[in-house]
A and B are shown apart, each in its own frame.
Chain A
């Protein structure tokens, strides 16, 4: 089914991708690692993780701010902003966009962030309690907070339209892109969106441990196994993806065809989790039926109860072992504000190359997870429409439909 009418309000086309992830720096390095099932999960090196119950994570290999970030911004911003600045520059180059030649108020920046500049903040807090308040950097005032990445990207590229930041944990990447699409339907012509996150410091990891959802398994091959009978939590990672989204572009990786967000009922409520309704509303927004969807990129929490909730929602919409499901995030860990943005980038590459990347790790599905999880190797098949799911800790849920640009014409 083709749904040309859905674009009458103006299509949001992803025209550029920038990836900085545990799977690699750059779109092709990431994509080749995903197709090869090459994991970026290793023992944490940014600090000594020995005293912590979680010692594995997805770190971005070989990222040096000095080579990729303007010198003036390095001491003023956190590692998470460094990665976003590098990814934004790559995405704009990939899109062939030249911001200097476009009206500054018609360009906007909307990113997601889950923990802000945690490492920067930890460093300054250490100075506060070991040396005193006059030793805290003036840049703490702008370096730590959630909108820092959006602001720095906006300043650097002269984008003065309606900018913002979404803080909905792992759902943030989709919510940011949903907001980007909303802006393209009003006065914006180009939005830099997506997100990164970096919380691999003692303070950041300790905050994450509080959820009780992280895996303490020490074997990298066994630690993050979503939908598997041996699922035991997830691993954290850093990085993400920045995307350039433009109104009515003739060319690009794909179209943001549908989006919906929701929030889970309070614990103990008799109402069902938000995910199923979010999927149905995103499909309706895209003008598609479940049969039109070629692949589902799962949220894949790796926590048995959350996996079961997601598998049930997917099966209720697509049928038992209906549409193929995958979760390449087992190669990176969950990237929080960067996670869903990276999933969207990966889904667009799946559409480009007509292949569903596999989920590395799981081997035996848990009871009740009756999904067609793509395992072992990538599956060659036409991919015209991909559905990306994301849930953020505390109840956030979002779904986004990406479509092949030719499919929407």
Chain B
């Protein structure tokens, strides 16, 4: 099964929602709320939509509430990837 990493998350967020010059994404940001990193609810919706298409997994809009920090987002996405691998 492919694993979704912090590096994947950062690359994806930069590509779909840009990056706030005031924010350093290279530090330990695992538990920093994504909102504090400059990514609001629209950015998370955009993230969910992007990941759905990239990994062919279903991510409902409500899932953004389970992705409030990078750690939570990565865990959520890996759980979906694992489900989809089992199903296959």
Say if A and B assemble together: yes
Give the B-binding residues of A (Cβ under 8 A): 70-76, 134-135, 137-139, 141-142
User: 22 A–B contact pairs at CB < 8 A?
Assistant: A70-B18, A71-B19, A71-B20, A71-B21, A72-B18, A72-B20, A72-B38, A74-B18, A75-B16, A75-B17, A76-B18, A134-B49, A135-B53, A137-B16, A137-B46, A138-B43, A138-B45, A138-B46, A138-B49, A139-B42, A141-B42, A142-B42
Q: Are B17 and A72 in contact (CB under 8 A)?
A: yes
Return B46 CB to nearest CB of chain A, in Å: 4
CB distance from B73 to the nearest CB of A (A): 16
CA distance A141 to B49 in the complex (A): 14
Q: Is the CB of B42 within 8 A of A73?
A: no
Please state if B49 and A75 are interface contacts (CB–CB under 8 Å). no
- Distance in angstroms from B56 CB to nearest chain A CB is 12
Q: Is the CB of B19 within 8 A of A72?
A: yes
Determine the chain B residues whose CB is within 8 A of the CB of A142 once the complex forms: 42
In the assembled complex, how far is the CB of residue B16 from the closest CB belonging to chain A, in whole angstroms? 7
Query: Which residues in window 15-52 of B have CB below 8 A to A?
Result: 15-21, 38, 42-43, 45-46, 49, 52
Bound state CA distance, A73 and B15, in angstroms?
A: 12
A295 to chain B, nearest CB (A): 42
Give complex CA distance A71, B39 in Å: 12
Do the beta carbons of B52 and A134 come within 8 Å of each other?
yes
Q: Enumerate the 7 nearest inter-chain pairs by beta-carbon distance, A residue then B residue, closest first.
A: A72-B18, A138-B46, A138-B45, A71-B18, A72-B20, A71-B19, A138-B42
Taking the nearest CB of chain B, how far is it from the CB of A151, in angstroms?
12
Interface of B is mostly: helix
CA distance A114 to B53 in the complex (A): 35
Give the complex CA separation of A396 and B20 in angstroms.
Answer: 40
Since A75-B17, A134-B53 are in contact, a sample of 14 more A-B pairs with Cβ atoms closer than 8 Å, ordered by chain A residue number, is A70-B18, A70-B20, A71-B19, A71-B21, A72-B19, A73-B18, A75-B15, A134-B52, A135-B53, A137-B46, A138-B46, A139-B42, A141-B42, A142-B42
Q: How far does the alpha carbon of A74 sit from the alpha carbon of B14 in the complex, in Å? A: 11
A76–B15 Cα gap in the complex (Å)? 11
- Which residue of A has the minimal Cβ distance to B61? A138
- Chain B residue at smallest Cβ distance from A134: B49
Q: Which residues of B contact A76 (CB under 8 A)?
A: 17-18, 42
A70, A73, A139: which contacts B46 (Cβ < 8 A)?
A139
A142 to B45, CA, bound (A): 13
CB distance from B80 to the nearest CB of A (A): 16
Q: Please, how many angstroms separate the alpha-carbon atoms of A336 and B21 in the complex? A: 32
Bound together, the chains give a CA A142 to CA B43 distance in angstroms of 12
Instruction: Give Cα distance in the complex from A165 to B15, angstroms.
Output: 30
Given the complex of chains A and B, what is the CA–CA distance between A76 and B16 in angstroms? 8
Closest CB-CB distance, A312 to chain B, in whole Å?
50
Least distance between A307 CB and chain B CB atoms (Å): 44
A137 to B45, CA, bound (A): 9
Chain B neighbourhood of A134, CB < 8 A: 49, 52-53
Q: By the criterion CB–CB under 8 Å, are A75 and B42 in contact?
A: no
Task: Tell me the complex Cα distance, A139–B42, Å.
Answer: 7
Residue of A73, A74, A134, A138 with most partner-chain B CB within 10 A: A138
The distance in angstroms between the C-alpha atoms of A139 and B17, with both chains bound, is: 9
Rounded to whole angstroms, the CA-CA distance of A139 and B46 in the bound complex is 8
A residues in contact with B17, CB < 8 Å: 72, 75-76
Closest to A136 in B: B49
Q: In whole Å, how far is B58's beta carbon from the nearest beta carbon of chain A?
A: 11
Residues of B within 8 Å of A139, CB to CB, are 42, 46
Please name all residues of chain B whose beta carbon is closer than 8 Å to the beta carbon of A74 when the two chains form the complex.
Answer: 18
Which residue of A has the minimal Cβ distance to B20?
A72
- In the complex, the chain B residue whose C-beta lies closest to that of A135 is B53
> Whose C-beta in chain B lies nearest to the C-beta of A77?
B18
Q: Output the least CB separation between A4 and chain B (Å).
A: 46
